[in-house]
Amino acid sequence: MLSVDSSLSFGILLLAAQSLSYAQPERIVVGSVAELQACVDRPAGAPLICALRGSSTPYAVSGTSLTIRRNDTTIEGAPEPGQDPPTLRRTDPALKKMILVHKFASNVTIRNLQLDGNSHEIPVKDFQDISVEGSGVTVENNHFGNSAYYCVFFGGPHFTLRNNRFGEFIVNGEKRPAPGIDTAVKAWGPNATQFTVDSNNIAGYRGAMSITDAPGGTDPATAGVISNNTLYHNGTCVPNCGGGQIYLAGKTTNVKVIGNTIDGGWRESENRDTVHSYGLEIDKAGYILTRSNKIFNNAISGIWIGNGANHITLENDAVYNNGLNGVQISGGPRATVSDISILGLASQHNDQQRSLSAPYPRLPRYFGVMVQDSGATKDLCIQNDSNLGTNSRGAVYAEGRYNKGAVCPRPY
C-alpha cells in the first residue's frame, strides 16, 4: 500500500508525464529550401514543426527532392497577414519529386503551402509534386497547380488528403487558374490502403484521382474513403484519352465513394464532340460502394463499370445530364462483371445531344442504365426505388434478363 508521500510523488510524476505528452511541438521558422531541409533533418525526438516564411517570389526546388525521413514532423507555410502562402516551384527539369516522404517516416503533415509543378518549362513525364511512401501522412490546406503529371502520389497506408485545392493558386490574395497536365491524385500499390480523400476541390485536369492496384481487402471497416470532394473537368483531354474523374482500377478493393460532386464540364467545353470522359469509372476493381454522389455533365456516361468489376453497390446516387447513358455496365466473355446492386439510383436526362463524331456512336444510348453484354445481367439487381424513367430511350437497356425487386442484396 502506498503511503501519502509516495502517492503524492506518484501523482506528480503522472502529471509531469501527461504535461510532456500534451506539450506543444517545437516550431522553427526558416527562410530557404536549404534551411527547410536542415530543419526536417534534425535528430529524431519530440514533434517538430518546420515553418517556411511567406515570400513575394517562389522558392526554387532543384537538384534533389526535399525529403522527410523524420517521424512526427510538420512542414507548413507561415505567411504574414496579407501575404500569399509560400510557393515551392520545381525549376529543375530532371527533378521527378519536389517533396518526398520516405517510406520509413510516419505521422508527417504538409500544410498551408503552394506547390507549383512549373509545367510550362518542365517536360511531361511521370513527375510528382508530393510523393508519399510513409504511413500516417496528412496533406491539407495546400494549393497545387501547373503540375507536369501528378500533384500528389501516395503508396503508403493511412494517408489523408483534405481541404486542398488543385488547379489554382492564390496570387496577391486572388484565385488564379493553374491547370495541370494529367492527374491530380494518384495512388498505387499494395500499401495504398485505408486512405481518406476528403473535401478537396479539383479542376482542370485530365482526371481528378486514380486509385490503381491498391488491394485493401473486403472489410468495410477498413475501407479507403473518397468523400465530399468537388471535381470539375473542363474538357482538357481530347480526343480518346480520358476516363473517369474518379478511376478505381486493377486490383483495387474496399473503397467507399460518398457525397462527391462530379461535374464533367462537358457542355461548356469547346471540343464537346470529341472529349472523352466519365464521372466515375470502376475498371476491374471490386468491393466498391458509391453513395449519395452527384454525377453530371460528363461526355459519355456518369458511371462506367466493367472489365471484371465485382461486388459493387450503387446507393442513392444522382446521375443526370450526361451525354450517353446514366450508368453503363460492360463486361464481355473474358471479363464478366458480377455482383452489382443498384439501390435508390436517380438516373435522369442522360440523353444530351451528341454528333456522330462523339465517342462510341454505335453504343446503345440515352438510358438510365445500359448493360451492353448479356453475361453481366445475371448478377445485376436494380431495386424498385430507383428512378430511371426520364431518359429519352427509357429506363434500362439490357442484352439479357436482370433481377429487380423491392429489396436487392448488398454485395458490399
Q: What pLDDT, in 10s, does the model give residues 323-335? A: 999 999 987 666 8
Report whether pLDDT(145) > 70: yes
Question: Residue 93 maps to which CATH number?
Answer: 2.160.20
Position 261 in a domain: yes
- Residue 77: φ, ψ to 5°: -80, 145
20 secondary structure, DSSP code: H
Report whether pLDDT(123) > 90: no
pLDDT digits 0-9 by tens, 70-97: 999 999 999 999 999 999 999 999 999 9
Predicted local distance difference test score (pLDDT) of residue 333: 62
Using pLDDT thresholds of 50, 70 and 90, give the confidence band for residue 16. Answer: very low
- Ranking 44-53, 216-225, 332-341 by mean pLDDT, the lowest is 332-341
Mean local confidence (pLDDT), 119-129: 86
Position 30 in a domain: no
Predicted local distance difference test score (pLDDT) of residue 214: 98
Radius of gyration of the chain (CA): 24
Residues pairing with 82 in the sheet: none
Using pLDDT thresholds of 50, 70 and 90, give the confidence band for residue 22. Answer: low
Position 6 in a domain: no
Domain count, the chain: 1
Mean local confidence (pLDDT), 28-51: 98
CB contact set of 62 (below 8 Å; sequence gap of 6+):
90, 91, 92, 95
Predicted local distance difference test score (pLDDT) of residue 21: 46
Using pLDDT thresholds of 50, 70 and 90, give the confidence band for residue 23. Answer: low
Predicted local distance difference test score (pLDDT) of residue 234: 53
pTM of the model: 0.92
pLDDT digits 0-9 by tens, 274-303: 777 899 999 999 999 999 999 999 989 999
Position 35 in a domain: no
Domain holding 231, by residue range, is 56-405
Rounded CA-CA distance 301/294 in Å is 13
Q: What single-letter amino acid sits at 396?
A: V
Rounded CA-CA distance 367/38 in Å is 59
Closest CA to 299 of 251, 344, 363: 363
Q: Which residues of 315-332 are buried (b: 16+ CB within 10 A; e: fewer)?
A: bebbbbbbbbbbbbbbbe
Report whether pLDDT(226) > 70: yes
Predicted local distance difference test score (pLDDT) of residue 4: 45
Position 7 in a domain: no
Using pLDDT thresholds of 50, 70 and 90, give the confidence band for residue 235. Answer: low
Strand order in the sheet with 59-61: 59-61, 87-90, 114-116, 143-145, 165-166, 201-203, 230-232, 261-263, 294-296, 318-320, 346-348
Position 14 in a domain: no
Predicted local distance difference test score (pLDDT) of residue 237: 53
Mean local confidence (pLDDT), 185-211: 95
Position 237 in a domain: yes
Position 90 in a domain: yes
